Amino acid sequence: FDGKLSPFRKSEPIPEVNNEPVKVVVADNVNDVVFKSGKNVLIEFYAPWCGHCKKLAPILDEAAATLQSEEDVVIAKMDATANDVPADFDVQGYPTL
C-alpha cells in the first residue's frame, strides 16, 4: 500500500562476464542493453530445447563475430523460458528475432 514493493520479474542473474560476441541479456538488464544503450541491437529470444534455435546459434555467433568491431551494433540473446520477456516484444514462438 505504501508503494515500496517492486513487481516480481523472473530473471536469471546478470552475467558477471559478458565478453562473448553474442551478448547474454536477462530480464534485469534488458532495458540497459537494448533500450538505453543507444546502439542498434539484434536480439534473439530462444528456448534451450528448441531445434530451430540450436540451428540458428552458429549463424548468430558468426554474425556477431563479424560485427564485433562495430561499436554501435550489439547482437544479443535471451533465454525466454528463464526470463520474463518485456511486453514490447511480441514473442509467440522460438526463435524470435
Report the C-alpha gap between 74 and 12 in whole angstroms. Answer: 20
What is the CATH architecture of 43-96? 3-Layer(aba) Sandwich (3.40)
The helix or strand, by DSSP H or E, that contains position 53, with its residue range, turns out to be helix 51-66
* Residue 5 pLDDT grade (very low, low, confident, very high; cuts 50, 70, 90): confident
pTM for the model: 0.90
Query: What 3-state class would DSSP assign to 15?
Result: coil
Per residue in 50-69, pLDDT (tens digit) is 999 999 999 999 999 999 99
Grid look-up 531445434 returns 51
